[in-house]
A and B are shown apart, each in its own frame.
Chain A
Amino acid sequence: MTQTSQKPAIEVRDLSLRFGGLQALNEIDLDIRPGEILAIIGPNGAGKTSFLNCINGFYHPYRGQIIYQNKDLTRLKPHKIAELGIARTFQNIELFSGLSALDNLMAARHVHMKRGALLGCLYFGPSRREEIAHREEIEEIIDLLEMEAIRKKVVGSLPYGQRKRVDLARALCMDPKVLLLDEPMAGMNVEEKEDMARFILDIFELKKIPIVLIEHDMDVVMDITQRVAVLDFGIKIAEGTPQEIEDDERVIRAYLGEE
């Protein structure tokens, strides 16, 4: 692969995050390369979600840099980072549960909407054309993620696996340049997991963007990712191909505990 020689999409340097006395992340160095699916694994409380939260601006680390398009993201607000094209999904699904799947997706497109609220209210001419254009984009995503049947269903009434799918669609609606997925397959049955894995691969092939995912299921990780980073107590203890990681002594110790 030639990717190693390419400039990373996101460079994380010396990233450290602390909650009071708790060291959540400690001097993490990690490159997210263009054209790869990178998995972040680690035991509970290892700092995986905190790592994503730093990248998309929910947390501000006390030390270190996150370089994306020659900009340091560490001091930026989440909505600014979203506008720069970094989209994510959430472990606990953050959607408007009273709105339909479609409305949730339309709302997510707002970062790309040029007309203000006032013009939007009038809904004619340019605003109307803009809505239609966005709806077309969204229909492409609905097709991609096979959400036709739930398009007009209220999100709160959907089963968990499908809400996860809406969450992923919402992230895609932002037309991301980097996609961060926080446990996209947690709590799913085998069939739903297979579907989700297929969707992630489809997105990867179609959009050709780097995808970072936190995942516990090693089978999935082995199947769909090119590279894996392992966190344990806020420290990156290993990085490599899925095969290397599976055989790594430190990783086995982190998961199974010290003898």
Chain B
Amino acid sequence: MAVETLPQALKENYIKYGSRAVAMRVKDRGIWKEYTWQDYYLKVKYFCLGLMHLGLQQGDHVSILGENKPEWNWAELAVQSAGGAVAGIFTDCRPEEVKYYAEHSDSVFAVCHDQEQVDKFLEIKDELPKLKKVIYWDPKGLWSYKDPILISFDEVIELGKARDKENPQAYEDMVNQGKGDDIAALCYTSGTTGLPKGAMLSQKWLVDFVIDWGKYDGWIGKGYEYLSFIPPAWATEQGLGIAGAILGPLTVNFPEEPETVQENIREIGPHVLFFGARLWENLNRMIQAKMMDSTYFRRLIYRTALPIGLKVAGMRTGGRKPGLIWRIIYFLAHHAVFRQLRDRIGLSNVRIVYSAGAAVSPDIIKYFQAIGVDVRLFYGSTEQGVNSLPLAGDIRPETSGLPVPWVEIKLSEEGEILIKNQYPFSGYYKDPEATQKKVKDGWYYTGDFGHLDESGHLIVMDRMDDLKELAGGKKFSPQYTEIRLRFSPYIKDVLILGGPDKEFVTALVNIDLENVGRFAEAKHIAYTTFTDLSQKPEVIELIKKEIDKVNATLPEWTKVKRFVNLHKEFDADEEELTRTRKLRRSFVEKRYEHLIKALYGDQELYTVEATVTYRDGRKGTIQTAIHVTDV
């Protein structure tokens, strides 16, 4: 019989590996505790039967609220064994949010991690009439709780064992009845507008899609180790840590606490890994800081090796095979620095490294490539799973790779990314209207703006809603261009301009005083102030080159055509930036109204007179001639 559901796949693993292979590992009380496939299967079986004893019916929904721990996986598989679906809730949700998810998903049980999460449910339980029990797996702090709605995970397992004795065949029969079309999980998407919608993922989504993904990317059947770290309420972890772990099979390792991941990852040395964009940046910053604290000799070796790594990584990205000499030099650099460095950060064994969700600076990706860690940013969504994925050996920092074989991608006239998928989601729970809005003629409207480059790689730029329009109705993404330009060390801040009354895109650039200053020193360019430096012809040329580079990745109509280097830095004291250093777009546009007019005029020089508020409250004016430059 072909495997259609995850519980069926789990049963197969149990038959195949039994207690001979480790399915998951969790660090508890400072020790890695192992669970074999037999342990996994039995926990799921008994927990499922226990839930049924407490009143779980076929097709019921159950909320799970907790960190990544084996109990989450057990509970999820148990619910799915009974033909039900789980609604994962993020641990940092406030009680009102938890109430929305539990209520909207019609959950009959809530499986919680610890006191913190149990408290949330106790606060709202009276408003959830369908809720039968709140189950917790970490009893810490709950010793004196007397509420009859509470029951511990282990107690449920005991109930299940008793029920199994009465009817030993019941569980298996139920699992065999499972169908690929059964809804397995509700993943709530954080819609930018309105309330979150519950995307229904079927068993087919979890099983067939994940098997295809694993085969396409080569992590199936290798016995890889996986570090479970991203929230399981997220579709990505549903695919990797829960479904992928069973179908791979992958050995899932659960860190002790979110704060101990850095330490735990080193103990595990995972092969498959998913880190969010921010984490890669943090990791990079941590290495830089540690190197700065290191001894002179070590820094010297590091600084010699890194450019070699970058050079070779650059060759590989460009599709060239490094020559013998370079390979020898890289081999030396690898053994002198990169191998130890990767060991220190726990990435010695990594083969499959993913990131997604937000843009990672190309410099960070290149850095990790240099030390031999190929971070790959895929494009996907809760509703559609993985849609495009750079394959090993064809990683380009700007793109999300080629569309995967089970997906067809096209662009709407407005530039919206449309997806036709062999494994689509099954619609939004209790919201067919929203489903109809997103899916037309079998095409899923992602709401993302992007384009496919000459070689077919997908470049995702922005949310459709955040786009601006140019005269003539063409859409463009100011944010995408701004983010890309800000990756340049010479550009500190930039405001991209355009609008229905404007023919083309322009930019107000804030140079980075420190780095441009260093550039000027190296070129023996004398300058006095920020204003002076910003208007030096060489500096303007430098910024122009940076803009050229980004322009090369942009569709024709969204390229920056003209720019100015602003004579002063955007300043939070003058309300141009928020205190968190975000640009206050409309304020800045208003303030530099005349300058912006000049950008779209035909003068090459424009004189500004700006009022400056000093820290002590006095006001002054500065007068400067600003160069308007065509790109």
Contact = CB atoms under 8 A, between A and B. Distances in A.
B597 interface: no
Given A148-B256, A148-B260, A139 B29 contact: yes
Nearest to A144: B140
Contacts of B31: 139
Given A148-B259, A149-B260, A205 B29 contact: no
Report whether over half of chain B's contact residues are helix, strand or loop; otherwise say mixed: loop
Given A202-B140, A206-B143, A149 B29 contact: no
B29 A143 contact: yes
A136 interface: yes
A205 B144 CA distance: 7
A252 to B, nearest CB: 34
A206 to B, nearest CB: 6
Contacts of B143: 205-206
A10 interface: no
B148 interface: no
Interface in B196-253: none
Contacts of B29: 136, 139-140, 142-143
Judged by DSSP, the binding face of A is: helix
B260 A202 contact: no
A198 B141 contact: yes
B181 interface: no
Contact of B257 (A135, A140, A144, A149): A149
Interface of B: 29-31, 140-141, 143-144, 256-257, 259-260, 263
Interface residues of A, number: 16
A83 to B, nearest CB: 27
A248 interface: no
Contacts of B140: 143-144, 202
Given A143-B140, A202-B141, A205-B144, A151 B30 contact: yes
Given A202-B140, A205-B144, A146 B257 contact: yes
Contacts, number: 31
Nearest to B262: A149
A36 B402 CA distance: 66
A149 B141 CA distance: 20
A202 B144 CA distance: 10
A6 B437 CA distance: 70
A124 B3 CA distance: 51
Nearest to A153: B263
Contacts of B141: 198, 202, 205
Given A139-B31, A143-B29, 18 more contacts: A135-B30, A139-B29, A139-B30, A140-B29, A142-B29, A143-B140, A148-B30, A148-B256, A148-B259, A148-B260, A149-B259, A149-B260, A151-B30, A152-B263, A202-B140, A202-B141, A205-B144, A206-B143
Contacts of B260: 148-149
Interface in A153-204: 198, 202
A135 B30 CA distance: 10
Contacts of A206: 143
Interface in A34-57: none
A166 to B, nearest CB: 15
B229 to A, nearest CB: 14
- Pick from A135, A146, A148, A152 the residue with the most CB of B within 10 Å: A148
B142 to A, nearest CB: 9
27 contacts: A135-B30, A136-B29, A139-B29, A139-B31, A142-B29, A143-B29, A143-B140, A144-B140, A146-B257, A148-B30, A148-B256, A148-B257, A148-B259, A148-B260, A149-B257, A149-B259, A149-B260, A149-B263, A151-B30, A152-B263, A198-B141, A202-B140, A202-B141, A205-B141, A205-B143, A205-B144, A206-B143
A139 B27 CA distance: 12
Contacts of B257: 146, 148-149
Contacts of A202: 140-141
Interface in A123-149: 135-136, 139-140, 142-144, 146, 148-149
A18 to B, nearest CB: 43
Nearest to A139: B29
A152 B31 CA distance: 13
Contacts of A146: 257
Nearest to A201: B141
A23 B31 CA distance: 52
Given A198-B141, A202-B141, A205-B143, A142 B259 contact: no
